[in-house]
Amino acid sequence: MTSAHSRKKQPDLVRRSLLDCAARFATEHGLTNLTIQAVADAAGVTKGGLFHHFPTKQALIEATSRDLLERLDAEIDARLALDSVAQGRFTRAYVDIALATQSPDLSNPWAALSLSVATDPGLMRLWGDWLAGQLERHRSTDNAPMLEVVRLAADGAWLTLKTGNPVTDVAALRARLIALTRLEDTRLADIKLAGIGLADIKLAGIGADGPQSP
């Protein structure tokens, strides 16, 4: 039985392959630059075969975006399951995924989305809705002002790296941001965000490599 015949008998596999190829293209070029021919060629199907699953380019882009967000949900949930400290754990997962690797990773949904969200208003709204949903879901654990600052810092670091500017040590930065989510006073409404410095971190028992044992 030929692979072409096998694909005809397994439309779900063809659809999965098309979404994976579109995501891989997005990682390298951004979803907005996606072409039907490039995705069809990568998946080993005709353009007609692609249109059977996604009638327009926009339909493919939207389906790929939603699929990537579902995969991102799964990656976050996997990290949450391993984090025994409830306070700030969504923020730690967010930072870890955003800054875990800056090498091209075709399996990383963040990498695939990151090149597209900033340039496409529709995808930006989709991302905004996703993030708002996550923050509402984790309101009881990740609503402190310090945690918002940490997430925004991760966003800024990601943008700095994506625009070609150097960050001295991404791993150390990630560790410091995650360490800040473990400060005991992250829930205090009157926290002096501008005053958080090395002395505060040392007093909290946190160093550049994370929490220190007493």
- State pLDDT tens for residues 67-90: 989 989 999 999 999 999 999 999
pLDDT at position 18, please?
96
Nearest 5°: the CA angle 130, 134, 140 is: 160
3-state secondary structure 63-99: HHHHHHHHHHHHHHHHHHHHCCCCCCHHHHHHHHHHH
Among 167, 176, 183, 182, which residue's Cα sits nearest to residue 209? 176
pLDDT, one tens digit per residue, over 96-134 is 998 875 544 545 677 777 767 777 788 888 889 999 999
To which CATH superfamily is domain 3-211 assigned? Tetracycline Repressor, domain 2 (1.10.357.10)
Distance CA 49, CA 28 (A): 23
Quick one: which of 211, 196, 26 has its CA closest to 118?
Answer: 26
Per-residue pLDDT of 146-200, as tens digits, reads: 999 999 999 888 888 777 777 778 889 999 999 999 885 554 433 444 444 444 4
- Bridge partner list, 211: 206
Residue 107 Cα to chain centre, angstroms: 11
pTM, rounded to two decimals: 0.74
For 35-44, 50-59, 182-191, which range has the lowest pLDDT when averaged over its residues? Answer: 182-191
Q: Cβ distance 39 to 26 under 8 Å?
A: no
The pLDDT value given to residue 184: 59
